[in-house]
Structures are given as structure tokens and as C-alpha cells.
Structure 1
Amino acid sequence: MMLGSFNLVGCQPAQSSASLKHLAPAGAQQAGPTAGADSLLLTPVPAVAELPDTLRLAIAQLGTDLGPAAAELRPEVLAQACVGYLTLHPTGRIERAGRLAVADMDLPNTTERLWVIDLVQRKVLHRSLVAHGQGSGHLRARHFSNVEQSACTSLGFYRTSGTYGGVHGYSRRLLGLDKGQNTNAFDRYVVLHAADYAGPEYVRQHGHLGYSRGCPALPPAQYKQIISALPAGSLLLLSGPGLASRWLDGAAAGRRFARRGWR
């Protein structure tokens, strides 16, 4: 839903504490961060540690095979998503083989920065715009929090859960898998849902997307297909500056890939 007027609490800056001065006031959608915070220079993504060469090459080949639809999906972010998938699947925390979604929240919200990928068929099933929380910034998400009423996006890996009919219609619950980073997602009602402010028409009118209370809100024209493509037990990664996850285990991912590939 669109952000109402309430105090923002607990937003951690992605870079330095000085960047907090760019945080938009609660309820003041038109007042975003300064141009410096919305620089088009992307934050470098650290390489996943201990990633075997065989898996590194397989991820690079996957990126090539995904074709033009994944041209703006940074290789390092794709690697994060793939490593998380390979590390999490054997634990039973995710159950849908060969399916993942990844959003690069460091990209401007005017970019289609969400991808739903079939790893086995090696193709992009869906690509779309996705909104971030108002507490996270204006054009780009720069501040993140797991705290209730922060109105911030929470970085990390999520397991998709059941669907329900809410205020925004057909919606899907999300369960955070990164302790301290997104594990309050269920209590914060962070879900996949549609929003008029998350579509291309809103961008044409305002020059940027609107903001949620922390949900990765989707365009009305695509949300049903995307939610249906991520049935319960699927993996979603919200990547961004400062992402740290125990599931980014290159060695464990390499062992799993050697045994089973992407299945």
C-alpha cells in the first residue's frame, strides 16, 4: 500500500551514516534524497567468496543464455541469487527446484529491476518494475531495515508462502530467511502485491515509481503472472548495497551444483 504519515524508525544506511540526511521525510513522497544519493553510479557488488571456478563459469554461461532480457541483471547479483538458491535448497527452506526471482534494488526504480528466472530452461520468465519502501530512498533504495514501521525495504533471501485476497487483491506472503535482516517480513506484512504506483504509467507521470511500506510492490498489469510464477516454496532475493547473508556460501553452493546442477 502507499505510505501513510507515521514516524520512520530503524532505517540503517547502506553506506555511511552521513547519508541519512538524504532520507525522505515520512509521508512526504515528493521530497526524496538529493541528487548525490540518486547518482547513477551503482554500488559495486562484492564477489561471493570461495566460489569454485566450475560454478562461476556455469553462472556466467547462464547469464549469457538468459539473453537480452537479462542484459541489465548484473553478473554479481545473478551470482548472489544462484549461490543462495544452491545453498538454501538442500536445507528444505525452499522447495521449488529451478525457479528463483531476484531484484537488484540498487538500480533506479524506473528500471525493470525484477527478474523471474527458470534455471533449468535457462530463460527469463518475467521482468518487471518493482517498488521499494519509502523509508529506503527516492529513485534508488539506499537504506534498509527489518524494523516494524520503518517503511524500509529489507534485503536478503525470502521464501514465498501462501496467497490471499487482501486490500490489493491477489497477494503472496513472504518469509524472510536472513536473521536480523528480513525475518520480521511476515509481521511487517511485507508481501508481493499490485500497486498503481508500481506501474509504467506512474513513471511516465511522475518520473519515478511511488513507494510502499516495505513491500516489493508490482505493476498491476503483471502482478498475477509474477505471483503465480513464484508458488509457495520459491526463492526471492532482494539484493542491494550492504547485503550480507549466511546463504552466500560459495563452497556449499559449489558442492550442491556438482551433485545436482540447477535441479
Structure 2
Amino acid sequence: MKTPAVTVRFAALFLGLLGVGGAVASCQSAGGEVAAAMHTPPVAVAAPAALTPSPAATDSLAPTSLAPLPGVSVELRAAVAELRARLGPEVAALRPEVLERACVGYLTLRQAGRISRPGILAVADMDLPSSEPRLWVLDLRAGKVLHRSPVAHGRGSGDLRARRFSNTVKSACTSVGFYRTQDTYRGKHGLSRRLRGLDAGQNDNALRRYVVLHGADYVSQTYMQHHGQAGNSRGCPALPPDQYKAIIGAVGEGGCLYLSGPGLESKWLAPTVAAQRLATRGWE
């Protein structure tokens, strides 16, 4: 029969092998790379891979179901469908429900005078995985796709899929909603464009959080080919190094950027106002 001291030592060794009782500290860089973990137990054995699947392996690639926007007139819905047809196969992965919301918001914001760049709409479906090119810059008047690219989401929002969105300072999350593109400057990421969030409580802390359009190596083709997805930002919709300057130039100042995500509620999704604007001014 084992003595109590032997039993205690055996239990401690068994718990140590399981990694129980020791805190694991890790940090994540802006590129989404996890630093080496520091284990406090003197003896630690990694758990089997089957018990600790990576976030990318467990993330579903299917976007959240999105119902058509209520209150959209037959005429407005037909106009968006016609626009989609003109934009062609490059928008095949842009869900019709997301495009419709983006267009309604654009028209409402133009009517309200909150955006000033005519005909240019940038829309990102942040409910798609970051492995996909999920940002489109559209010329609504010409019916052309100006740019399509990957775009990163914040590390606080998730790994492969963005599952949490926040307007809170230092949350490192993506904030969904409509943005007005502001002026440009040169910072640590080079050319960058400021973003003003137009949805109260959803993204209106964007300027305080320094949420901007900028380029990042962790959205490059090389990074994505190696990792199978984009890395994570600190909340900015970061862009590929070989495309960010052209995209920043195309959206211009006073343009409309729509970051779509689950649970978004926006006062700019006003179909009646949007229909009136389209009837009188078109996509101008």
C-alpha cells in the first residue's frame, strides 16, 4: 500500500503530464502568428493534436444566413440585380443580400450628404473567411469592378472567420457598418487612409481606434499561400502590399466603405430613401 506522500507525488506527476494547474501565456502579433507558449509546470507534455484542433481547422467556411433586406421596392431590387449583372462574374462570390445592403446604404448616405464621392462603393463581406478575396471596389455608374482583394480582420474577431465584432477601443476587433473614407497620411504602414465610422455604437470609434486602410505583409500572396489565410490586424481592414495603394486611391476621400457582418443594424439601411435617391439621381 502506497504512503500518502507517494500518492501525492504520483498525483502531482500525473497532473503535470496532463498540463493541469499551469497557466499558459501567449501573445498574437498583428500578423496573426502565435508566440511560443511558456508553461509553468516543471514537466509538461503537449496534448494530442486531436484534442486541441487549431481554430482554422474548426472554423466553418459557410457564411451566416442573411435574409433579403425588408422594405426594398421591386424597382430598387431590380436595379441592384441589373447592376450585379453588369458587374459580371467578378462579383459571383459577393452575396446578393450583401450587395443590396451596400447599395441601399450608399444611396441613403448620398442623399444625407454623409459621403461625397459619386458612384464609388467599396464593400467587404467580413462574414466570409479571410482566405477569400472578400473586398470589392465598385464603380456603380460604369458597372465595373475596379478592384477585388483579400482583406484582414482584427485578431480579436477570430482566426479564419470573424465571429466577434466590437466598437470598443483596444478590442482589436473589426467593426462592421458604413464608413466614410477620409484623408490619407504616411505612417508606419506607409500610405494609409483614415476611416470615419458612420454607425453609432457599431463603428463610430474608428478614428479614436486608428482604424485605417493600409497595406500589410500578412495579406500578401506569399503569406496567404503559406498559411492558407490572411493574418490578423488590430482592427484595421488591412490590404495586400501589391494592391493597397491602388485601392486607397480608387476609394478616394469622401467615399463609401461597407463592412458587412452578422448582427449589423444600421439606420442607413433605409430602402425608401434609397429608392427616392436612385429615381432622381441614379447611382451618382
TM-score band, normalised by shorter chain: 0.7 to 0.9
**1:215 matches 2:236:** yes
Alignment match, 2:184: 163
Alignment match, 1:76: 97
Alignment match, 2:87: 66
Checking the alignment, whether the CA contact within 8 Å between 1:116 and 1:126 is kept in structure 2 is yes
Checking the alignment, whether the CA contact within 8 Å between 2:121 and 2:138 is kept in structure 1 is yes
Query: Between Structure 1 and Structure 2, whose CA radius of gyration is higher?
Result: 2
1:98 aligns with one of 105, 114, 119: 119
**1:89 matches 2:138:** no
2:158 aligns with one of 137, 142, 157: 137
Query: Following TM superposition, by how much is the alpha carbon of 1:33 offset from its aligned partner in structure 2, in angstroms?
Result: 3.3
- Point out where structure 1 has 5 or more consecutive residues left out of the alignment: 1-24
Alignment match, 1:9: none
The structure, 1 or 2, with the larger RCO (C-alpha pairs under 8 Å, 6+ apart) is 1
Alignment match, 1:5: none
Query: What whole-Å deviation, never above 9, does each CA across 1:173-232 have from its counterpart, x for those lacking one?
Result: 000000000000000000000000012211111111111000000000000000000111
**1:253 matches 2:254:** no
1:234 aligns with one of 240, 248, 255: 255
Checking the alignment, whether the CA contact within 8 Å between 1:73 and 1:104 is kept in structure 2 is yes
Partner-residue secondary structure (3-state), 1:144: coil
Query: Following TM superposition, by how much is the alpha carbon of 1:109 offset from its aligned partner in structure 2, in angstroms?
Result: 0.5
Query: What whole-Å deviation, never above 9, does each CA across 1:100-127 have from its counterpart, x for those lacking one?
Result: 1000001111111000000000010000
1:200 aligns with one of 191, 210, 221: 221
Code of the residue aligned with 1:156 in structure 2: it is G
Distance 1:73 1:142 in 2: 19
Q: TM-score, normalised by structure 1?
A: 0.87
Distance 1:96 1:74 in 2: 24
Checking the alignment, whether the CA contact within 8 Å between 1:86 and 1:262 is kept in structure 2 is yes
Alignment match, 1:191: 212
Alignment match, 1:115: 136
Query: What whole-Å deviation, never above 9, does each CA across 1:224-248 have from its counterpart, x for those lacking one?
Result: 0000001110000000111111101
- Point out where structure 2 has 5 or more consecutive residues left out of the alignment: 1-25, 35-53
**1:43 matches 2:64:** yes
Distance 1:47 1:35 in 2: 30
Percentage of identical aligned residues: 59
Distance 1:69 1:87 in 2: 25
Q: TM-score, normalised by structure 2?
A: 0.81
Query: What whole-Å deviation, never above 9, does each CA across 1:127-171 have from its counterpart, x for those lacking one?
Result: 001000000011111100000110000000000000000000000
Alignment match, 1:33: 55
**1:147 matches 2:148:** no
* Stretches of 4+ aligned residues off by more than 6 angstroms: none
Distance 2:81 2:191 in 1: 35
The alignment yields a C-alpha RMSD, in angstroms, of 1.4
Query: Following TM superposition, by how much is the alpha carbon of 1:68 offset from its aligned partner in structure 2, in angstroms?
Result: 1.3
Checking the alignment, whether the CA contact within 8 Å between 2:174 and 2:235 is kept in structure 1 is yes
Aligned length: 238
Checking the alignment, whether the CA contact within 8 Å between 2:111 and 2:273 is kept in structure 1 is no
Query: Following TM superposition, by how much is the alpha carbon of 1:46 offset from its aligned partner in structure 2, in angstroms?
Result: 2.5
Q: Which range moves more in the overlay, 248-257 or 210-219?
A: 248-257
Alignment match, 1:55: 76
